[in-house]
A = this chain, B = another copy of it.
Amino acid sequence: MGATYGQFCPVAKAMELLDERWTLLIVRELMAGSHHFNALRRGLPRMSPALLSKRLHTLVRAGVVERHSEGNRVTYHLSPSGRELEPIVAALGQWGTRWIGELGDVDLDPHLLMWDIHRWIDMEAVPDGRTVLLFRFTDMTGPAGSWWLVINTDGVDVCDFDPGHEVRMTITSELRTMIEIWRGDRAWADTVRAGLLVLRGDTQAVRAVPTWLKLSPFASTPRPVAAVLTGTSAS
C-alpha cells in the first residue's frame, strides 16, 4: 500500500490505498468485465506485468478484489467493498469527461480504442452471420493504421492484420477524430457532415452503425456549457 498520511480521516485512509498509481484503473477494468491477468494487461498496456501483479496483491490484501483459481485459470473479481467503488469510478469518469477534455498525443492509443469499441458492440443489434468492419486511421502508418473488427455470433475479435474476410464497412478518419467520437466529444453525424469521417460500404450497415457500435459509457455525460465542440472546430 501507499505511504501513510498519518491521519485518521477516512478520506485519507481511503486514499492511502486508492491514490496509488493504476489502482483505480484496475478497478475500472474489473468493472468493464476483464477478469484475467492478461485481459487486464490489454486494458492497461503501459503497465508492466510486475506492477500489475503487485497492485492486484495489494487490492486482494485490502479486501477490494477477490482472487479465485479454478484449475490453472485465475480470475479476479471485485469484492463487496470493491463493488462499492463502482459509483466512485463512474463519478470520476464523468468528472474527467466534463473537465479534462484535452488529450495529448500519447493518449491516442489505437489498440485501446479498438479494445474499448469491441467490448461494447451490441451483439443483439448486429446482423446475423459474420460482420467485418475496417477502421482506417489516416494519420497512422503501418499496422497501427488499419484495424479489423470481426463480429461473429459468439464474440468480437480485434485484428491489426487483414483476417481475409469480406469487409462490410470501412470507417476512415484521423485517430483523434474517432477517439473524440468514442468519448462523446463529437457526434457521428456532425463529424461525417464536416468531412472528418467517412463511412463507406453496405448502405444498410452505414445507416445502422450508431445502433450497434456503442460509444463510451461516459459519452452521454453532459458537458459544461462552455466546452461543447462543434462539428467543424475541434480546438
Residues of A within 8 A of B (CB): 2-25, 28, 45-46, 62-64, 80-81, 84-85, 87-89, 91-100, 103-104, 106-109, 112-113, 116, 179, 182-183, 216, 218, 224
Residues of chain B within 8 A of A100, CB atoms compared: 10, 13-14, 16-17, 62
A224 near B103 with CB under 8 A, answer: no
B85 near A10 with CB under 8 A, answer: no
Copies in the complex: 2
Across the interface, name the chain B residue whose C-beta is closest to A2: B21
Across the interface, name the chain B residue whose C-beta is closest to A92: B14
Complex Cα–Cα for A109 and B85 (A): 27
B18 near A107 with CB under 8 A, answer: no
Residues of chain B within 8 A of A109, CB atoms compared: 6-8
Across the interface, name the chain B residue whose C-beta is closest to A97: B10
Complex Cα–Cα for A113 and B8 (A): 8
30 contacts between A and B (CB under 8 A): A3-B21, A5-B22, A6-B106, A7-B46, A7-B107, A8-B107, A8-B109, A8-B183, A9-B93, A10-B92, A10-B96, A10-B97, A10-B216, A10-B218, A11-B25, A11-B28, A11-B89, A11-B96, A13-B96, A13-B100, A14-B93, A15-B24, A16-B100, A19-B21, A63-B99, A64-B99, A81-B99, A81-B224, A84-B98, A91-B91
